[in-house]
Each structure stands twice: as structure tokens, then as C-alpha cells.
Structure 1
Amino acid sequence: MQAIDRAALDVQTGGDAELAREVLDLFAGQCRSILPRLADAAAAPERRADLAHTLKGSAAGVGAERVRALADAAEARLRADDGPVPLDDLAAAVAAALAEIGTAQP
């Protein structure tokens, strides 16, 4: 299973390979910025939920469905303030997406 759904990415970018690369690069940057802050258990749950929401939207925009689904689950749990939020699966999904972005051409 691929971490990035190229067909969904093509729909989002109108099949423009240059735009797809830009969108993937933006997504990668957001992942690298958001994930460490999302993992900061000392941060307010509402702030962490907002970060998960941002990551969810970014993932949806590039067809990173597993990242989207896991970020959605993290957001819901954080908004419910339902105790610790496990992020190992989300971190693994982000790592897979970043690896794919780094090695694959749109």
C-alpha cells in the first residue's frame, strides 16, 4: 500500500507534475514541523488538536489517507481531552509518507 495516493494527488493538482511536487514539499515541511509539536504532551490539548487538524487537512490534500485518518483520530481524542494520545502509528504513517515523497516523483 502506498502512503500517497497518486490518483488523488493528480485530482488535487489537475495532473500538473510541478504543482504536485510543490504540494508534496509543503506537506513534507508541515509534517516535519507539526509532528514534534503534536507529540509535546506538555502543550495544551486544544493546541495539539489544532495541529492534528492541520495535519489532517494537509494529508487529505496530497492523498495521504493513513496520515489523514490517524490525525483525525488524534484530533478527536485531544478535543475530548481523553487522556494520553498514542502517536506511534501516526508517526510511522508520516515517516512512510515522507520516505515515499523523498524517493518518488509525482
Structure 2
Amino acid sequence: MAALRIAFEAPDSPGNSAAIGRKPIDFAHLSVQTMGDKALEIEVLQLFARQARQIMKDIVEGEGTARAQAAHRLKGAALAVGAVDVAKTAGAIEHDPSDMSLPGDLSAAVLEAELFILKLCR
């Protein structure tokens, strides 16, 4: 139910699940990466959301080295768009792929970023 509430709030709503004053995407970083092109920002964010969902499957289903490699790919993609929380959690999985509590945390961070991106695109 909370995910539905998040999905229909404005991206800058105080009820957002992100830490107070912090959005799931660092727009200053993203703007530098896209040279301020707003259409490109949206395109890159949509690509990231699709890629993150595919890589999450690899992380959840993978083991050991395969999980660490998938987490590394997701960390790189997240850093490219400014999804700092996703990158941080993916980095933790890359460092310790055997910690089974981390994929759940990563899934929550990815979901938060995806919902935020969806709100921006509507």
C-alpha cells in the first residue's frame, strides 16, 4: 500500500519515502552527465529504470561472483544517473554477495528510484 502512495505523490512531496530533503536521483549530477538536456535526462532515467529491474533479477537469482558482478553493473549505472542510494546498496552487495539481507534493501532502493522516475515522466 505504501508503494501505491509513493507512486502518486509529487516528486518533491514531503510525504516521499526518501530521507527528508533527499530525492532518489541527484539532479545536479544527472544534469552534468546530460549537459542540461532535460529530454535526455528523462530518456537516461527510463533506461536506468529498465536496466535496474533486469539486473535485480540477476542479483536475486545469482550466487557469489555472479551476484557481485551484477551488483557492480548496477552500481555503475546508478552512479551514472545519480541514484546514490541504489549505488551504495549495490556496492555493499558487490563487497559481500553472501549477505542475504542486502538484496531486499537494494530492491527497496530500486523501487523508490523507479517510482520517482515514473512520477517525473507522467
CA distance in structure 1 between the aligned counterparts of 2:63 and 2:57, rounded to whole angstroms: 14
Q: CA deviation at 1:26?
A: 1.1
Could you tell me which runs of 5 or more consecutive residues in structure 1 were left unpaired when the two chains were aligned: none
Give RMSD over aligned pairs. Answer: 1.2
Q: CA deviation at 1:18?
A: 1.5
Higher RCO, Cα 8 Å, sep 6+ = 1
CA distance in structure 1 between the aligned counterparts of 2:75 and 2:25, rounded to whole angstroms: 13
Length-normalised TM-score, structure 2: 0.76
Q: Is the 1:27–1:62 Cα contact (8 Å) retained in structure 2?
A: yes
Q: 1:90 aligns with which of 103, 106, 119?
A: 106
Q: CA deviation at 1:85?
A: 2.8
Aligned residues: 99
CA distance in structure 2 between the aligned counterparts of 1:14 and 1:96, rounded to whole angstroms: 25
Length-normalised TM-score, structure 1: 0.87
Q: 1:44 aligns with which of 43, 60, 63?
A: 63
CA distance in structure 1 between the aligned counterparts of 2:88 and 2:99, rounded to whole angstroms: 18
Could you tell me which runs of 5 or more consecutive residues in structure 2 were left unpaired when the two chains were aligned: 1-21
Whether 1:21 aligns to 2:42 is yes
Shift >2 Å, 4+ stretches: none
Q: 2:51 aligns with which of 27, 30, 35?
A: 30
1:8-63 deviation per Cα after TM superposition (whole angstroms, max 9, x unaligned) = 110111101121112111101111101122011xx331111111000000000111
Q: Is the 1:77–1:85 Cα contact (8 Å) retained in structure 2?
A: no
Q: How does 1:39-78 map to 2 (within 5 A)?
A: 39-40=60-61, 43-78=62-97
